């Protein structure tokens, strides 16, 4: 299966589709969760996501060291990574530069793509709306967009999920009928 990247807006069905894909794997499944329950609303979201998963799946909660979490999963286990969106937010809160975040994203995406068992990664697409007024929100949208592009480049398949429906995203070279110049 390789690496599959699921992108979409909030409540688009990304996580539900990720669970469906992971449920089809014949071996063990490890969920790498990047969310932290900072308030009751987030705690409820985490509880809801856990309830959708098979009880035998192992969960690794790792908000920052994604590369380490991926390296710690046995090669025969499928990985469901939910989500890159919060991971980027966590790294920004840690004070990392955009270049450091992109470097970490590149290393983690390469590791996820090179795994023997499949990996499904979930991330929000936040760049489709208005440009935020606040500088931090603009920075977040910009860096998440670059991280999503890094992961899409490494992925065997990238899918946009909208209203519970999936649209496979094409490589630009495939759309243009050959390599794009410059």
Domains in the chain (CATH in brackets) are 3-171 (3.40.50.300)
151 close to 109: Cβ distance less than 8 angstroms:
yes
34-83 pLDDT, tens digit per residue, is 988 888 988 898 888 888 888 999 999 999 999 999 999 999 999 999 99
Q: Give the pLDDT band (50/70/90) at residue 129.
A: confident
49 part of the active site: yes
Residue reference for tokens 């995203």: 169
Per-residue CA distances from 146 to 43, 64, 79 (Å) = 28, 18, 22
Residue keyed to tokens 């089809």: 24
pLDDT of residue 178: 59
Per-residue model confidence (pLDDT) at position 179: 60
Structure-model confidence comparison of residues 176 and 19, the more confident one: 19
Q: Quick: pLDDT tens for 79-128.
A: 999 999 999 999 999 999 999 999 999 999 999 999 999 999 999 999 88
Give me the helices (H) in 40-170, please.
40-52, 66-71, 84-93, 98-113, 135-154
Handedness of CA 3, 125, 148, 156 (dihedral sign): positive
The mean per-residue pLDDT over the stretch 174-182 comes to 62
| 175 or 182, which is more confident | 175
pTM of the predicted model, to two decimals? 0.91
pLDDT of residue 168: 93
Q: What is the mean pLDDT of residues 140-164?
A: 96
Residue 111: predicted pLDDT = 97
**Of 7, 12, 19, 49, which residue is the catalytic one?**
49
Residue 181 has pLDDT above 60, yes or no: no
**Range 2-23 average pLDDT:** 94
């Amino acid at each position: 299966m390789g690496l599959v990247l699921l992108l979409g807006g909030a409540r688009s069905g990304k996580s539900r589709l990720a669970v469906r894909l992971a449920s089809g794997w014949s071996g063990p499944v490890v969920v790498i969760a990047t969310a932290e329950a900072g308030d009751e609303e987030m705690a409820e979201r985490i509880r809801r996501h856990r309830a959708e998963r098979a009880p035998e799946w192992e969960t690794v909660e790792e908000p920052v060291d994604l590369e380490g979490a991926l390296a710690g999963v046995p090669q025969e286990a499928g990985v469901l990574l939910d989500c890159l969106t919060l991971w980027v937010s966590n790294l920004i809160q840690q004070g990392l530069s955009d270049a450091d975040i992109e470097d970490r994203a590149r290393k983690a995406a390469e590791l996820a793509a090179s795994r023997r068992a499949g990996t499904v990664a979930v991330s929000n697409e936040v760049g489709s709306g208005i440009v935020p007024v606040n500088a931090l929100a603009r920075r977040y949208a910009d860096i998440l967009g670059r991280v999503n592009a890094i992961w899409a480049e490494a992925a065997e398949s990238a899918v946009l999920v909208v209203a519970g429906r999936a649209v496979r995203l094409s490589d630009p070279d495939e759309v243009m009928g050959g390599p794009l110049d410059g």
